[in-house]
Structure 1
Amino acid sequence: MRNTIIVSILLLVAVIVASVYYFSGLDQEKKESVKPIAFLPKDTYLIASFVNDETTDNIFKDFEIFEAMLGHQEIHQLRNLKQQLLRNKNLNSYLVGSDIFISLHPGKEETQLLFSIPLMEKVKNEELDQVLTSLSSTLQVQKTDTAGTALYSFKALKTDSSNTETKDSIFYVAYQANIFFGSYSKSLLFHVLDKKQPKLEEKQISYFNDHSNRNSPFTVYLPQQNLNGMVSNYKKNKAGDFLKQFINLKGQTVWNINYKQDALMLSGESELEDADGEYLSIFAKQHKTVQRLYNYFPSSSMMFVEYSFSDKASWASDLKTWQAKQDGAKQLSDQEQVINKEKPQLLTDIQAALGSDFAVVEQTNSDYLGFISIQDSSKFDSVLNSMAESAGDSIYRFRYAQIPYRFYGEGLKAFSRPYFVRVNNLIVLANQQSTIQEYIRKWKRKDLLIGGIGFKNYEQIQGNEANVTFFINTKNASNFLINSLNNSYSKNFRNKDEYGYQEFYSWSLQLAGNSGNFLSRFYAIYKSKNRLGVNADWTYSMESRLINGPYVFEHSDTAQFILAQEQDHTVHAIHPSGNKLWSTVFSGRIVGSVKQLPDRSLLLATDRRRLYRFDPQGKMVRGFSTGLSAEPIYEPSYIDWGSEQYILVPGKNKLMAFTMEGGKVDGWDDVNLEGEITGPLQLVDNELVVGTTYGRVYFFDQGGNKTKEIDIPGDVVFVSPVAVVKRETETVFYATDDTGKVYEIKKDGSSKVIYEGKWEKNYHADFVNLAGTSSPELIILDGSYLQVLELGNTVKPLFDYTFTKKIENSPYYFPAGSGLSKMGIAPQGTNLIYLFTETGGIVDGYPVEAQPLFYDGKINYNSGNFLICTRRDFKLYAFRY
């Protein structure tokens, strides 16, 4: 399957798109005319046109992808050309309002670029001579006449990044039919201007014009009849069977750009011609579907093609018609007769059991995996022993050859008589039993492609609705690309100093059926230096890993500061600039979170039974630190009873009360609680509310007297804190138990179950206001499953998210203003952190590679948003975004 790649097309588009920006920036409007395309030879590989206005200039001025694809020297050369020619004041007046076209053409050793620029007004030859020969003094301008064509040459020194001269470059310009044609190749110019040379067909030119989006910064045109030649220019060997699926599709494609800082995104339409004999044309008659098989691909996936169809009956009919035209059609027909004679209903039953999604994956070790969805599980179980024989360990092998090809065609032709194993509602194929066994090990470890940050970024940018999706992972496929590309392009790919190809996470192409044609999308995901988590504003070194925080608190009327504790129990106070304010070692690990009181002092308790209160300068308040009679299980609470202010610290099944000076408060030592306290303490209607695991809710007055106790009937075990919701006429409480029941509790002692969740017994539950409603939301972490529910008379799902790894850490909550919170998640073992929007989306820029424990928000009164996080090097990182 090494020839399944469409690398040539991907790199080709990259080069063209990269060139576009450096010739943009003239104050012009998009025209509908595509007149220059009519001059282009029939063998043109690709064309791009773009809008020249300030908007385009601003969009692409910091687009790192361009330099990564074209290379530093080429970028420098194009910048000079743009500044010296297109922005020259004498020439600019002739170009205002014109489009610029860039096209790619065959060359002897490498592809060649042509620039075509129609002028807005006709220019006399004598005027043209005067304008062109009087351009920048930094250019050497010469004019020659060849075969009746005036050719202007512009010579400028090309410099490398160290500003040392490397070689001379000559740019040639010809003028014909009121169009400037420019290239570094003199022979290409003459080829374009030669009227005897076959040109692009009129119907293609019309298609390009009709499908160009006038609101897009630029557009890419692809004459598909030349894809084969284009591939040959970039690739060492001939295209194999899988690559031919793409490059043999005749017709034309138009893509318009969608801008994103860390991705190249092109989308548009592809028209097919004479495609009846092409495998992919079968998908053009289908409608796009949601593709999900990629969730099962191993992390070692180098590339994959995922296929799907929407109408099984029409697909089967069209596939059979296509197979009848292929080599081996007779053998397939003969086999069908044999099988029908032996087991008359078998093929029909197999087809009914299998689904409409399938895929083929090539791994870094060149082993292939196939994936097929199961449509009818009961039918599959009933037909399993008839269609396959057991190979042990739940692995089977098809009894007959070419079964995957029979039902899915060219996409699964690589698997003649494969082994397979069932995973959830699909089967995984491989040609060797050992490949299946290794996949099973990876699946059980959740060692999957979707677990990495790069694929998470890819998922956020590219949708999963299509009929054909091709994907290549740059890192996993690096050696393959180096060995597959022709020498010059392979050298560019390896050159990390000059180019940035290896900074691309992936390249992908999606096709969706559109009444016999395709809607098509091309994506290149880039590891942008401007992406969140790449360039830190500052770092702060610690001696060990972070175990609590980071938090942001007020330091004074004009400044805030960051507080964090590392594993050796040192507490660090850090200025928003990253400089150390102070540090000190506390006795034990901070339990829960740190609270800031109205006087700006900070309050915390440690697992070594110490209670601390200190000012922002790190100085202890008189009376602190002080000892606790029991180990705290949650952070201390500041309780303001109006006449008195107390500090209350929850132990396992007791409450410890202190004055603001650290003295013990009489009356609280004998408080009797049944069960363990389930969450932080809350003051409601001047009473302290405490929930315990025994299904109890207690109410206490200022003196520590129990004023009320609510005992939920039955053997109820609360696992969540008690949530408080104030309504117009009453206060209502909510809690969840270990069976997944959600209780609504009223102060009169009545209660009812309003929801029953299907969660594992050790799930985690919080009540936090994320969405801005009058009630907090119920946040559930159940293994790798996150669910957020809306509270009310009933419980309604708001959103959910499934991670690849189990969530061991509780969610993190950060202030979002107006009493709302933002929620962060750090799945165990992924080295990724997530931040969610109030509607369940992932905040732009996330996930980020980092260790658990992080902060997101302002770090000073007037600062923008920052991410404060740690990595394995024991440093705090501050990323502005």
Structure 2
Amino acid sequence: MKRLIVITLFLLAATAFITFKYFKNLNTSGMHAGNIIRTIPDNAAVVFEFTNEKSFYDIYNGNDLLKNLIGGQKISELDTVRKVLFGSAELGTSFNGRNVFISVHPLTTNQPDLLLTTSAAKDFDISRFDNLAAKQKAGMLITPLKIGEKRGYNIYFNSLKKRFYIINIDANIFSGSFSKELITLYANYKADRDKQAFMLLPDQQNSNSLANLYINYQRLGPLFSQLFKNSNTDIFKPFRLLPALAALNLNFKNDAIMFSGYSNIQTNKPGTYLNIFTKQQPVTNQLKDLYPATTAYAVNLAVSDPVKFSADLSEFYTNAGLHAEKDALFAKIKTETGLSLQREFANLLGNEFAVVTTRYQERIAIISVKNGSKLKPFVNNISRMITDDAGQFNYLKVPYFLLGDVFSAFKKPYFRVIDNYLILANSIKELDSYNDTYFNRKFLNKTQQYVKFDNLQAERSNVAFFMNFKNAQQILKNGLTDDYYSAYKNNPLSWKNFYAASYQFAATDKNFYTNFCLLQNQPDTVVNKKSD
């Protein structure tokens, strides 16, 4: 009996010790994540989180994925900060194993920059920076810095010939940047404890994750306005308007960057077009198989209940103050043609509709319908026919009011019904171009690299954005600011080294399960696939 009691006590002690160590690890890593991220200025659009430990760096050692994602120069600068400053004997033990947050902020200089935020061990004394400054051959020159009430240091790295500014923001939380403007903004920033700028992960999920990506979608707008000449670019536009916060986990692959997690709708903010799709069920994506081989980027939308979608879209326009214009349009069509277009179209609408932009800046809408033969009389009735199978709508903004924001570019489009698809374009030339693509099967999915990329994507979604970087190069040249296009095109490590990107939303509990994928370039070959 005594032996049994001793064994039981030993097991209880071991369990208590393991539990203590587990929660101690959470306390030194995941538990502090929420405290740290709340101090980051809320104009950040994106925050990347990882743990400052050797195992993380070893995973990507010799791999260019993160270098291509962030840029060779930025990675070199961050690596110098890690090795020379935080890897020094004076600081290393206090910052090793800590959560590191790299956030992206738009600045008044129209040059977004990075902010690095982390915490030190509880027993850390800021005077260790002074001890490091006294060293003769540390590879850097450290001088005291004070911004407002915040104490910090101005660090000049000899190898970079560049200054890095670091401040003690609160307790043992430190933040640094190569931008004096950004660090000054941070030093003077007063966090609103009642305002949530980023969605937080549960402590255990955070602790078990290799890396995380946090996104405030509505903060992407100011960031895009500094990257693009036209801040109203339609690239990723519906996502930039969405009132939602995302927290995504990194899924490691050696040739792709993949994140997955949740994008939660902020119900205290006005809804946007994409909010409508949270009321649907995810749908198997098939229209992507009809994307032309020249596709630069595309948005694919999918609904499980087209009639409900039509009703929800109508309600959205009412809430947006557009119901009078919408009702007047469909009333005019009813008077002149006898057609209840909105109701008839909703009954014939299939489960998917997409807008594709090609490398030649052609814009094509592909809309699946339940029965193309039944649809033809309706669209013919509201159009002037140019050929036996192609015509042009007589009325403005019909696609916009039938299908939503993504179709706003099609004012009075040309159309053709091919099998069970309604094809729209802004010119006969574009319409004929897609006709050639369709009947000669000149689709993007004929290449091996696309097939590999598609295998990484979720099979079902409600909203999916896709970009092929090679096909989009001319569009990016015309759209990006000169500095950013030059960096994209000429730097050996940049996004041009990725084949494609996708961002997918699948509705779940009135929010979105989210998948983000970037696949690195590989030699491309043609695939002989059996066509239908």
- TM norm. shorter chain > 0.5: yes
The structure with more helix, counted as a fraction of residues: 2
Q: Against the structure 1 CA distance between its residues 321 and 174, is the aligned structure 2 distance closer, same or farther, given a 3 Å change threshold?
A: same
1:286 offset after TM fit, Å?
1.6
In structure 1, what is the equivalent of residue 213 of structure 2?
A: 220
Contact 2:393 2:413 in 1 (8 A): yes
Q: Against the structure 1 CA distance between its residues 69 and 381, is the aligned structure 2 distance closer, same or farther, given a 3 Å change threshold?
A: closer
| Distance (whole Å) between structure 1 residues aligned to residue 242 and residue 505 of structure 2 | 12
| Distance (whole Å) between structure 2 residues aligned to residue 455 and residue 382 of structure 1 | 37
**What's the C-alpha RMSD, in Å, of the aligned pairs?**
3.1
In structure 2, what is the equivalent of residue 439 of structure 1?
A: 434
Provide, for residues 169-215 of structure 1, a one-character-per-residue CA deviation record: whole Å limited to 9, x for no partner. 12222234112222222343232222xx3425545268324486432
> TM-score normalised to the size of structure 1?
0.53
In structure 2, what is the equivalent of residue 413 of structure 1?
A: 408
Q: Against the structure 1 CA distance between its residues 206 and 112, is the aligned structure 2 distance closer, same or farther, given a 3 Å change threshold?
A: closer
1:131 offset after TM fit, Å?
5.0
Where does structure 2 lack aligned partners over 5 or more consecutive residues? 1-26
For 2:162, which of 158, 165, 169 is the aligned residue?
Answer: 169
Contact 2:467 2:501 in 1 (8 A): yes
1:93 offset after TM fit, Å?
1.9
Is residue 477 of structure 1 aligned with residue 476 of structure 2? no
Is residue 512 of structure 1 aligned with residue 238 of structure 2? no
| Distance (whole Å) between structure 2 residues aligned to residue 802 and residue 399 of structure 1 | 42
In structure 2, what is the equivalent of residue 863 of structure 1?
A: none
* Map 1:192-341 → 2, pairs under 5 A: 192-194=186-188, 197-199=189-191, 201-204=193-196, 207-210=199-202, 213-240=206-233, 244-273=237-266, 274-326=268-320, 329-341=323-335
For 1:466, which of 461, 479, 484 is the aligned residue?
Answer: 461
| Distance (whole Å) between structure 2 residues aligned to residue 206 and residue 490 of structure 1 | 29
* Map 1:326-475 → 2, pairs under 5 A: 326=320, 329-341=323-335, 342-343=337-338, 347-377=342-372, 379-380=374-375, 383=378, 385-386=380-381, 390-398=385-393, 400-475=395-470
In structure 1, what is the equivalent of residue 157 of structure 2?
A: 156
1:302 offset after TM fit, Å?
1.6
In structure 2, what is the equivalent of residue 36 of structure 1?
A: 36
How many residues are treated as equivalent by the alignment?
501
* Map 1:482-631 → 2, pairs under 5 A: 482-496=477-491, 498-527=492-521
Q: Secondary structure at the match of 2:208?
A: coil
Provide, for residues 302-349 of structure 1, a one-character-per-residue CA deviation record: whole Å limited to 9, x for no partner. 211111111223212210011224465323212322333442555433
1:275 offset after TM fit, Å?
4.9
Provide, for residues 371-410 of structure 1, a one-character-per-residue CA deviation record: whole Å limited to 9, x for no partner. 1111245643665654555432533444544432232121
In structure 1, what is the equivalent of residue 529 of structure 2?
A: 803
| Distance (whole Å) between structure 1 residues aligned to residue 340 and residue 131 of structure 2 | 83
1:504 offset after TM fit, Å?
1.4
Provide, for residues 130-174 of structure 1, a one-character-per-residue CA deviation record: whole Å limited to 9, x for no partner. 35644962222223455454322332233xxxxxxxx61122222
Answer with 1 or 2: which has the greater Rg.
Answer: 1
| Distance (whole Å) between structure 2 residues aligned to residue 344 and residue 152 of structure 1 | 72
| Distance (whole Å) between structure 2 residues aligned to residue 437 and residue 112 of structure 1 | 45
Most deviating of 275-284 and 459-468: 275-284
| Distance (whole Å) between structure 2 residues aligned to residue 82 and residue 474 of structure 1 | 31
| Distance (whole Å) between structure 2 residues aligned to residue 61 and residue 516 of structure 1 | 40
1:474 offset after TM fit, Å?
0.9
State the AA in 2 paired with 1:31.
G
Q: Secondary structure at the match of 1:207?
A: coil
> TM-score normalised to the size of structure 2?
0.85
Provide, for residues 402-456 of structure 1, a one-character-per-residue CA deviation record: whole Å limited to 9, x for no partner. 4322321212222233232233322211122222222222222221111123311
Contact 1:292 1:464 in 2 (8 A): no
Contact 1:340 1:347 in 2 (8 A): no
State the AA in 2 paired with 1:465.
R
Q: Secondary structure at the match of 2:38?
A: helix
| Distance (whole Å) between structure 2 residues aligned to residue 407 and residue 502 of structure 1 | 36
Contact 1:446 1:804 in 2 (8 A): no
Q: Secondary structure at the match of 2:102?
A: strand
In structure 1, what is the equivalent of residue 21 of structure 2?
A: none
1:277 offset after TM fit, Å?
4.1
In structure 2, what is the equivalent of residue 182 of structure 1?
A: 176
Provide, for residues 506-565 of structure 1, a one-character-per-residue CA deviation record: whole Å limited to 9, x for no partner. 12221222333222222222116xxx889xxxxxxxxxxxxxxxxxxxxxxxxxxxxxxx
State the AA in 2 paired with 1:247.
R
Contact 2:147 2:187 in 1 (8 A): no
Q: Against the structure 1 CA distance between its residues 533 and 61, is the aligned structure 2 distance closer, same or farther, given a 3 Å change threshold?
A: farther
State the AA in 2 paired with 1:204.
Q
Q: Secondary structure at the match of 2:30?
A: coil
Q: Against the structure 1 CA distance between its residues 380 and 109, is the aligned structure 2 distance closer, same or farther, given a 3 Å change threshold?
A: closer
Q: Against the structure 1 CA distance between its residues 127 and 312, is the aligned structure 2 distance closer, same or farther, given a 3 Å change threshold?
A: same
Q: Secondary structure at the match of 1:155?
A: strand
State the AA in 1 paired with 2:217.
Q
Contact 2:198 2:216 in 1 (8 A): no
Q: Secondary structure at the match of 1:32?
A: helix
Q: Against the structure 1 CA distance between its residues 349 and 60, is the aligned structure 2 distance closer, same or farther, given a 3 Å change threshold?
A: same
In structure 2, what is the equivalent of residue 122 of structure 1?
A: 123
Q: Against the structure 1 CA distance between its residues 244 and 363, is the aligned structure 2 distance closer, same or farther, given a 3 Å change threshold?
A: closer
In structure 2, what is the equivalent of residue 697 of structure 1?
A: none
Provide, for residues 244-281 of structure 1, a one-character-per-residue CA deviation record: whole Å limited to 9, x for no partner. 42222223221211111221112221122245441111
| Distance (whole Å) between structure 2 residues aligned to residue 143 and residue 346 of structure 1 | 71
| Distance (whole Å) between structure 1 residues aligned to residue 426 and residue 325 of structure 2 | 21
Where does structure 1 lack aligned partners over 5 or more consecutive residues? 1-27, 159-166, 535-783, 785-800, 807-881
1:480 offset after TM fit, Å?
1.3
Q: Secondary structure at the match of 1:373?
A: strand
Contact 2:380 2:391 in 1 (8 A): no
In structure 2, what is the equivalent of residue 728 of structure 1?
A: none
In structure 2, what is the equivalent of residue 83 of structure 1?
A: 83
- Overall identity of the aligned pairs, in %: 24
